[in-house]
Structure 1
Amino acid sequence: MKERVRAVLLTTAGTMLVINRIRPGIPAYQVLVGGGVEPEDTGLEGALLREIHEEIAGTATDLLPFHEFKNDKGETEHFYTARIVKWNFTDRTGPEFQRDDRGEYLLEEVPLTAEAIEALNLMPPQVKIALLDAIRAGSLAAPVA
């Protein structure tokens, strides 16, 4: 069974990073940085750090488990919060960016507020619900510089 990892990347500016996905024929949606765990990865956190490096040429610290569920494909999806230290979207190297048929990937900073999260078409929907619950409970806040 495949495992997937994704990160709620928190900035010191009180925002989080999302990737806007623009694909022909379907409404735009947002995803968090991450992807599949590969056999050569050193655990879930190692896979997540690799994905952050590939997808946004980023460095993250302070990874903490946030949410987990099984998707409709039977894969376990592990979500972490992390402090994003640096990123450079133009230097991304993930294999998905090399394919013309995958549509557009646009990095965006989103305020860490319930209103901003509610406005997103964030996939999967389970993580959007978890984020809104955490924000409303006051248990999710941007790291201090």
Structure 2
Amino acid sequence: MKQRVRAILITQDDTLLLMKRIRPDTAPYWVIIGGGVEDSDASREDALLREVREEIVGEAEIGRLFHQLENPKGETEYFYLAHITRWNFDDRTGPEFQRDDRGEYLLDEIPLSTEALASVNLLPEEISDVLREALERGDLHTTV
């Protein structure tokens, strides 16, 4: 079964980096940066660092595993809290960015607050709910 990894990227300015997706005939939505674990990856954490490098040319410090879920395709998705100190969206190299049929990928930086999270269509909905609950408890600022 395919595994996927995602990085809940918290910046030094206490914002959250998300990928905004714009596709034809679909309302815009946001996702947490990450992707599939490849056979060549030594671990899920290595896969996550590779995905952050490919998608936003970023350097992140991975904290702890924050949440795990099974997506509708039956894949296990692992969400890690991470601090990010550097990124350059213009130099991204992921294979999805080379395809014209995938729509737009835009990097979006939003405040790390329940209000800001509620204002975007973050998918999957489960992770949006879990993040907002963690923010209400004050768990995100001290766990990375």
Instruction: Provide TM-score, normalisation by structure 2.
Output: 0.96
- Identity over aligned pairs, percent: 54
Give the corresponding residue for 1:105.
Answer: 105
Task: Say whether the 8 Å CA contact 2:61–2:84 is kept in structure 1.
Answer: yes
Q: In the TM superposition, what is the alpha-carbon distance from 1:142 to its structure 2 partner?
A: 7.6
In structure 2, what is the Cα distance between the partners aligned to 1:26 and 1:15? 26
Listed as ranges, the matches of 1:1-145 within 5 Å are 1-141=1-141
Query: Which string of whole-angstrom CA distances, capped at 9 and with x for unpartnered residues, describes residues 52-109 of structure 1?
Result: 0000000001331100011121110000010002000001000000001111011011
Query: Which string of whole-angstrom CA distances, capped at 9 and with x for unpartnered residues, describes residues 29-55 of structure 1?
Result: 001110010000011000000000000
Secondary structure at the counterpart of residue 85 of structure 1: strand
Instruction: Provide TM-score, normalisation by structure 1.
Output: 0.96
In structure 1, list runs of 5 or more residues that go unmatched. Answer: none
In structure 2, list runs of 5 or more residues that go unmatched. Answer: none
Secondary structure at the counterpart of residue 40 of structure 1: coil
Aligned CA distance change for structure 1 residues 55 and 14 (closer, same or farther; 3 Å): same
**Alpha carbon RMSD of aligned pairs, Å?**
1.4
Aligned CA distance change for structure 1 residues 135 and 78 (closer, same or farther; 3 Å): same
Q: Which amino acid aligns with 1:133?
A: E
Farther-moved stretch of structure 1 (88-97 vs 58-67): 58-67
Task: Say whether the 8 Å CA contact 2:45–2:62 is kept in structure 1.
Answer: no
